[in-house]
Amino acid sequence: MAAFETHDYDVVVMGSGGSGLRAAIAAAEAGAKTAVVCKCLLGKAHTVMAEGGLAAALGNVAPEDSWSQHFQDTMFGGKYLNNWRMAELHAKEAPDRARELEHWGAIFDRTPDKKMSQRAFGGHTYKRLVHIGDRTGLELIRTLQDKTVHSAVDVFMETEITRLIQDGERVVGAYGFKKQTGEQIAFTSKSLIIATGGGGRIYKITSNSHDCTGDGYALAYDAGAELLDMEFIQFHPTGMVYPPGVAGLLVTEAVRGEGGLLRNSLGERFMEKYDPKRMELSTRDVVARSIYTEVKEGRGTEHGGAFLDVSHLDADYVKRKLPSMYDQFYELAGVDITKEPMQVGPTCHYFMGGVKVGADDGRTRIPGLYATGEASGGMNGSNRLGGNSLGDLLVFGRRAGIDAAAEATKLEPIKLPKDAVDEAVNELTGYLTGKGTENPYQLHKDLQKVMGDGVGIFRDKEGLSTAISQLDDLAERGANVKSPSERLDYNPGWQLCREVRNMITVAQAIAKAALMREESRGGHSRLDHAYYDDYWSEHNIVVDHEQGEMVLKAIPVAKKDDLAGLIEARKEQEKAA
C-alpha cells in the first residue's frame, strides 16, 4: 500500500476561488485551524475570469436602489425557482462584502463623488455592478489571496482530492495526491467545505477553466449529499466563435452593459424580436437563445455567431472600460473592436445547480460536509443574473466558513477509518498501475460530444434519452479508466482519471434532470415543451440516491412568508409590462 502523509485540520476547504478563500478567511478568523486544498496555484482559480462586476445594492449611482429591488431582480432572473432565503441573504449582505473587499485593499472604479462606481447589467433594474474595468474577478481573487496569505490558513497548492473519507455518514476528511510529486496525501477535517466551482468542461464549447471539472458535485454526491437544479446550465450568450482554438472564450456582458449592439448578418438588431424592452441587456438565457435561433435560421455570421459591435463608441472609452476585451480580440482573432464588430455565440458558462445546502450556513445533509459558491445550488434558481456570482461567493463563502468553524469546535480530534482510506488508496493507485484499458482523454472527448449533441442549449426527449443511455455506457467505461502513463510526477492523465468520472456523474445528473423537467425555463430549454409549466414553476428537482442508483424527485420551492409580498409585487409589475 502506498505511503501517505496525513494533515489534521478543523476546517478543510476544497478550492481556492472566491468562495473557497472567503470561507477559509472566515474560518481562520473564527479561530479554526484551516487549510485550503486546490488543484491550481493560489490565485489562478476560475474566479479570475469574472469580468463584469459584483452586484450589490449600494445605491452609489442609483440612490433609489435597495436590497429588496435586488432580491426581486434576482428572483425574476431565476424565474422564481431560487431559494428565497438565499436570494434575500445575498441581496442584503452583498453591499457589506463589497465594502469589506475595499477595506482589504481592493480598488474599484469610482463615481465623480469618489465612491465605488456601479454599472448596468442584464436583468438588474438599476446600475448595480461594482467593477474595475473588465477584470473584477482578478481584483477579487488577488484581494482574497493576499488576505489569505496573511491569515492563519495553510494552502496546499496543486493538490488533487479524489475522495472524501467518511466515518459512518459523517465526512471526516479527504484523500488525494500532490500533482508535483505524485505523493499521496490525506486530510482530516471536522468540517469540509466544497468550494470547487462549476463543471463547464463537460462541454467542448465553454468559457470555463481547465480545472472546472465538477469534482465537488460528484464527490459530495458520492458521499450521500443531494444535488439541486442540475438541469439549469447558463450558456453565456457571448463567447468567441473564431478562431477554433478560442471558441467558447468569454466576451464579457460588460460589452453590452457599456452599449454594445447585437446584429445578425442582415444588419438587424434582432433582440427587438425577442425582448424589445430590455434589448441587448435582457437576461442571459433569453439573449443566448436569441443568438442561437438567429444562427439556426440562417442569419448568422460566417463563423456561426452574431455580430457584437462597440465601434460606434469612442475608441478611448472602449479601451479604458473594456481593456481585456480589446486585447483578447486584437491578439487572438486579429480584430480591432474599436473599428469592427466581434463575432459571438453561446458558450457554457455557469451551473445554476449544485450541492443542496442550508441557506444560512451552507450545510449539506451529510454531517461535516458543506458546500458554497457555484458548487452549491439554490441561490440562482433557473438562471443567474450577471454580477450575482461574485456576491454569492463572498456572502455564502463567509457564512459557510463561520458555521464550519463553529461546528469544528464541538468535535473531538478525528481519526480516519482504515477501511475508507484503503478504498481511497486502492482507487487512486488503480488509475496509475491497475488493469484498466480506457484512455481518460478519449473518454473526456466522447463525453463532450454526448453533452454537445444531446444536452446543449436546446433539448428534447429523444436527444436526452439517447444521451442518458450513452452516459451510462461512458460511466461503465469510466470504471475501467487508467492513466496512459504510470509516471508519478505531474502526470495529467492520472489526474484526469478521477476527473472524467466526476464529469460523467455530473453529466448524468444534468441529463436526467433535464429529461424530467418538461417545460422551458431559464437555463433549460425544451423544444418539445417550449413554455412554462404551472407545476414546474413551483418545483425544484433534487438528484438523490436510492440503493446505489441515481433517483430524481421534485420538491416544492423553498419559500419564506415575509418575502411573498415582494414576489407578488414583481409578478404584477411584469404582467403590467
Partner 1 sequence: MSETLHAGGTRTFQIWRGDMTDGKLVEYTLELEAGMVVLDAVLEIQRSQEPDLAVRWNCKAAKCGSCSAEINGKPRLMCKTRIDHLPEDQPIVVEPMRAFPLIRDLVTDVSWNYEVNKKIPPFTPRDDLPEGDYLMGQAEVDRIGEFRKCIECFLCQDVCHILRDHRMMDKYYGPRFMVRMASLDMHPLDGLDRLDQLADDGGIGLCNITKCCTEVCPEGIHITDNAIIPMKERVVDHRYDPVLKIFNRGGQKGRKKPDAA
Least distance from partner 1 to the Cβ atom of residue 366, Å: 29
How many Å apart are CA 398 and CA 485, to the nearest integer? 40
Taking CB under 8 A as the criterion, the residue among 54, 94, 249, 254 binding partner 1 is: 249
Nearer to partner 1, 368 or 493 (CB): 493
How many Å apart are CA 430 and CA 165, to the nearest integer? 18
Reading phi first (left if > 0) and then psi (alpha if -120 to 50, else beta), residue 43 is in left
How many Å apart are CA 134 and CA 562, to the nearest integer? 37
- Residue in the block written with cell 438565457: 285
Nearer to partner 1, 227 or 241 (CB): 241
Region near partner 1 per CB under 8 A, out of 242-250, 291-299, 369-377, 558-566: 242-250
Choose the catalytic residue: 236, 263, 349, 570. 236
Taking CB under 8 A as the criterion, the residue among 210, 415, 545, 559 binding partner 1 is: 210
Q: Is the bond preceding residue 243 a cis peptide, omega within 30 degrees?
A: yes
Dihedral sign computed on CA atoms, order 27, 28, 33, 35: positive
Q: Which three cell numbers stand for residue 129?
A: 455592478
Least distance from partner 1 to the Cβ atom of residue 157, Å: 8
Within 430-449, the residues that bind partner 1 by CB under 8 A are: 441
- For position 29 contacting partner 1 by CB under 8 A, the verdict is no
Least distance from partner 1 to the Cβ atom of residue 227, Å: 25
| H/E segment holding residue 146 | helix 136-149
- For position 88 contacting partner 1 by CB under 8 A, the verdict is no
Total site size for partner 1, rule CB under 8 A: 69
Q: Which three cell numbers stand for residue 242?
A: 473564431
Nearer to partner 1, 362 or 493 (CB): 493
- For position 107 contacting partner 1 by CB under 8 A, the verdict is yes
The answer to whether residue 312 is catalytic is no
Contact 14, 24 (CB under 8 A): no
- For position 312 contacting partner 1 by CB under 8 A, the verdict is no
| CA dihedral angle for residue 264, residue 268, residue 272, residue 278, rounded to 10 degrees | 70
Nearer to partner 1, 180 or 426 (CB): 180
- For position 322 contacting partner 1 by CB under 8 A, the verdict is no
Choose the catalytic residue: 70, 163, 256, 501. 256
Taking CB under 8 A as the criterion, the residue among 1, 3, 64, 114 binding partner 1 is: 114
Taking CB under 8 A as the criterion, the residue among 234, 380, 491, 520 binding partner 1 is: 491
- For position 150 contacting partner 1 by CB under 8 A, the verdict is yes
Q: Which three cell numbers stand for residue 572?
A: 404584477
- For position 99 contacting partner 1 by CB under 8 A, the verdict is yes
Cα–Cα distance list, 90 to 73, 390, 395 (Å) = 12, 10, 6
DSSP 266: T
How many Å apart are CA 33 and CA 195, to the nearest integer? 17
Region near partner 1 per CB under 8 A, out of 45-53, 84-92, 220-228, 556-564: 45-53
Pairing state between β 170-178 and 129-130: unpaired
φ/ψ of 252, rounded to 5, equals -60, 145
The answer to whether residue 236 is catalytic is yes
| Greatest pairwise CA separation for the chain in angstroms | 68
- For position 493 contacting partner 1 by CB under 8 A, the verdict is yes
Region near partner 1 per CB under 8 A, out of 168-176, 207-215, 414-422, 556-564: 207-215
User: Hey, what amino acid is at 232?
Assistant: F
Taking CB under 8 A as the criterion, the residue among 32, 335, 375, 514 binding partner 1 is: 335
Contact 506, 458 (CB under 8 A): no
Q: H helices of 479-532, where?
A: 492-516
Least distance from partner 1 to the Cβ atom of residue 229, Å: 26
- For position 553 contacting partner 1 by CB under 8 A, the verdict is no
Taking CB under 8 A as the criterion, the residue among 26, 219, 233, 250 binding partner 1 is: 250
Site string for partner 1, 266-305 (x = CB under 8 A): ------------------------------------xx--
Integer Rg of the chain from CA: 23
Measuring CA to CA, which residue among 388, 525, 356 is closest to residue 76? Answer: 388
Least distance from partner 1 to the Cβ atom of residue 73, Å: 23
Least distance from partner 1 to the Cβ atom of residue 115, Å: 5
How many Å apart are CA 359 and CA 102, to the nearest integer? 26
Contact 336, 349 (CB under 8 A): no
Residue positions annotated with a catalytic role: 236, 256
Using CB under 8 A as the criterion, which residues of the chain lie in contact with partner 1 when the complex forms? 40-46, 48-49, 60, 99, 102-105, 107-110, 113-116, 132-133, 135, 137-139, 142, 146-147, 149-150, 157, 180, 207, 209-211, 242-246, 249-250, 302-303, 323-324, 327-328, 331-335, 340, 441, 483-485, 487, 489-493
